[in-house]
Structure 1
Amino acid sequence: MNGTNLRINSFTSKGSLELMDSHLKNINSYWAYLLIEELIRNKVDTFFISPGSRSTPLTLAVAENKKADKIICFDERAAAFAALGYARAANKPAVLICTSGTAAANYYPAVIEAKQSHIPMILLTADRPPELRDTGANQTIRQTEMFGSYPNWQFEMPCPTAEIPSAMVLTTIDQAVFRANNPVAGPVHLNCMFREPLAPTAGPLPKSYLKQAVVWKKSTNPYTAYLPPEIAVAQDEADKILHLFNGTRKGLLVVGELNDIATQKAVISLAEKLKWPVFADITSGVRQAGALLPNMEYYDLLLLSDKVQKILNPQVILHLGRPVTSKRFLQFQQNYPAGEYIQVSDSTDRHDPNHRVTRRVYSDVSQFCLRIAAALNGTSDKKWFVAVNEKNSLIRRIMEDRFSGQVEVSEIAAARFIAQSLPEKHGLFLASSMPVRDFDMFRG
């Protein structure tokens, strides 16, 4: 994303279009300015733009705003997945902007991924006015609710007009940002209709209309400030879980994908206190905790052994975060159902393909971990833990002996080499299917 060919660098440079105060030229430009400025006031400041004619007011509003990070991507599908990756890394949504017609349809795969993975995303799709629908007009399709049930929220922005209060534009953006993040993160779609003129040429814009936002313009805050909810387990239920953990000798901690570094640290804190074997998924972000937690980094290979599965056979499984990648874990879960399977997630989704969950805790994972860790005083079965850990250590030695210094290329060797070569605090994008499975099973 650092290449100059991907960014809007000089819309306001000498010899280019003059954009200063272009939002005062006509009602289209003014609404677009309100939309983009309110997004930025909500700390949503990264825009992936796929250029087109109908989206001109939105694109120029982004270009003129000095606080906006602007990234040009001509292919809408690529732009959508780039925005998805940004949101996953930054833990906040990016904004996608495209023109009318089938351009927006290319966002669909990433919209589904954002919904399924609980990744925030905001889509601003430009559209033709309603009088051009079902007329055969160019680049005109039915864009209303075009992404089906996948968006967290979707709204049809009317064609800009001075008859609609400017506050409606601002509160709609505030609602969109909130819904992209709460109660569970996901995509939000605003379909923005525009009539001509699309360029910032002079047009009707009553001074009385501009006065509606005078107080807002003097501020740097969103028009409506949403206070995010605090999702926490009730005290009596937390006490029951704590009592269960304190009495558990053979417990297993399973860690799926986690949202942020703070949550990862809280999970590590709980793992240190529990002293249970940890099955950490490749997407969890806690595989690199090293000596800080009893991590069975080769758990996927461990579970290929029926003997190890029999040794494990836990009384309690605590599952934090999203589902894990390992198919072997699902098979193990089916073969050796724990007496209690507690799943903790800030999502309302059901992730229970084997129907084994006995307690589903809807809570912020970080808060849950810190709360339980603070009062935990249970002890695990050390002999049992050592038996499990020895099997994991054996696999580790075999893998190191087999692949240390290996020259020939293989999926296993590539996964291990890349993982070991990755600098600290660097991210790695893994494709779906086999690459993510190879890293989960073999990277160590």
Structure 2
Amino acid sequence: MDIQKCINTLISHLPGERAILSPGSRNAPVIYALHHSSKSCHSIVDERSAAFVALGIAKATREPVILSCTSGTAALNYYPAIAEAYYARVPLIILTADRPPEQIDAWDGQAIRQKGVYANHIRAEFQTPDVYDDTAAFRDLAARVEKCLSTEISGPIHINIPIREPFYEFTDEGLSSEAKMPQAIAQQNISVASIAAHYNEDFTLKKVLVFNGMECDENIVIGSDDGTIMLSDITSNQTSDVHYWDAMLFSAQSKANGLDFLSVLRPDILITTGTTTVSKGLKRFLQHHTPEMHIHLSKHYEVGDMFGTTPKLLNPAEVRTIRETDNDVDGKREGAYVNAWLNITQ
């Protein structure tokens, strides 16, 4: 049984250039493999903090970050950040060292039911063999993780690793110095005119509102025309046509008949990207002033109905590209609907 060689094989084939380590005893072979791999490692003692640091790095780099902790309740301290990563579609690879099966529910120290512990908030979960005699099984598991990251909705992936003693017999066998480089997420550019043409609609006389929700794994950028209003959540990493729109919506709704006052801003067509929003004002506004049509752009099958608008899911890959007219996207915004937004925020 060669524990270290098998774990070295797993680590060498996992995607991701960065790892956050939560020091412990049972995960010593994992820490050794990560430390001696090509991955950049950072040690953070507190597991809860470590998980949120990993979440932040993964959001900033748009690349998977590996987390490693020891067995027992240490794994539970990762859960808040894992739940955040699940809903924000942020790629994390969580490696939890575990006691072997015969020690679970046997009153052994730091032994909890770790298999499936994150089941409600992960995109995939795996458990390594508890007999370490086949490095190919560990290499195949890493390949399955990589496939999940490239083909499924981005998010946290859990690998539980049961380890028997002795596990302090270190070796470099199975380690590879070749970095597993993740593929960059290509920007997807799509125009409002292309979306209208896809539905055989004419948006020329429609009040069109584009909203970019929380940034996720798709990197969709909508090019709007002069008569379209673009709003972006503060977590979207995109810009808005209207300054302080969130404060305006919140302020208006705090007054008597405030929502009725905002009726002039009701869109006919709502086009969204990303995921959720932190703006309660926008949620209340669109729930009260429901658009005729809500189109959500995503290649994934999963979309939340946070505005109560029954969104139509549209895969950008299915939309034929149509160039906007020459007088579009010139930095100026014109038209009655645009002026309504601009005037009400001044």
Which TM-score applies when normalising by structure 2?
A: 0.83
Map of 2:306 onto structure 1: 353
Q: Is the 8 A contact 1:256 1:321 kept in 2?
A: yes
Q: Which has the higher strand share?
A: 2
Equivalent-residue separation in structure 2 for 1:275 and 1:383 (angstroms): 8
Could you say what the CA RMSD is over the residues aligned between the two structures, in angstroms?
A: 3.5
Map of 2:141 onto structure 1: 172
Equivalent-residue separation in structure 1 for 2:211 and 2:263 (angstroms): 17
Q: Structure 1 pair 70/277, CA: closer, same or farther in 2 (3 Å)?
A: same
Q: Structure 1 pair 310/189, CA: closer, same or farther in 2 (3 Å)?
A: same
Q: Is the 8 A contact 1:251 1:277 kept in 2?
A: yes
Matched, 1:279 2:252: no
Shift of 1:363: 4.1
Hey, which bits of structure 1, 4+ residues long, moved more than 6 A?
228-233, 376-381
Which TM-score applies when normalising by structure 1?
A: 0.66
Q: Is the 8 A contact 2:270 2:294 kept in 1?
A: yes
Q: Is the 8 A contact 1:231 1:362 kept in 2?
A: no
State the Cα deviation string for residues 365-413 of structure 1 (Å, max 9, x = none).
Answer: xx96xx5563568989713322321222x1xxxxxxxxxxxxxxxxxxx
Q: Is the 8 A contact 2:226 2:334 kept in 1?
A: no
Map of 1:13 onto structure 2: none
Matched, 1:45 2:31: no
Map of 2:215 onto structure 1: 258
Q: Is the 8 A contact 1:55 1:97 kept in 2?
A: yes
Equivalent-residue separation in structure 2 for 1:325 and 1:196 (angstroms): 47
Q: Is the 8 A contact 1:124 1:192 kept in 2?
A: yes
Map of 1:10 onto structure 2: none
Q: Structure 1 pair 285/105, CA: closer, same or farther in 2 (3 Å)?
A: same
Higher relative contact order (CA 8 A, sep 6+): 2
Matched, 1:333 2:333: no
Shift of 1:86: 0.8
Map of 2:264 onto structure 1: 311
Map of 2:245 onto structure 1: 299
Match of 1:71 among 30, 42, 45: 42
Aligned-pair identity in percent equals 26
Equivalent-residue separation in structure 1 for 2:109 and 2:295 (angstroms): 54
Q: Is the 8 A contact 1:81 1:110 kept in 2?
A: yes
Map of 1:55 onto structure 2: 27
Equivalent-residue separation in structure 2 for 1:124 and 1:190 (angstroms): 5
Map of 1:200 onto structure 2: 169
Map of 1:423 onto structure 2: none
State the Cα deviation string for residues 199-249 of structure 1 (Å, max 9, x = none).
Answer: 1269xxxxxxx8xx8xx97x9487xx99x999999xxx9564464254443
> Residue type of the partner of 1:263?
N
Q: Which moved more, 1:48-57 or 1:274-283?
A: 274-283
Q: Which has the higher helix share?
A: 1
Correspondences of 1:112-191 after superposition (within 5 Å)? 112-162=83-133, 164=134, 166-191=135-160
Any unmatched runs of 5+ in structure 2?
253-257
Map of 2:61 onto structure 1: 90
SS in 1 for 2:54: helix
Shift of 1:160: 4.0
Shift of 1:129: 1.4
> Residue type of the partner of 2:101?
P
Equivalent-residue separation in structure 2 for 1:248 and 1:377 (angstroms): 18
The number of equivalent residue pairs is 331
The higher radius of gyration belongs to 1
Shift of 1:100: 0.9
Q: Structure 1 pair 100/382, CA: closer, same or farther in 2 (3 Å)?
A: same
Q: Is the 8 A contact 1:245 1:378 kept in 2?
A: no
Map of 1:424 onto structure 2: none
Q: Structure 1 pair 377/243, CA: closer, same or farther in 2 (3 Å)?
A: farther
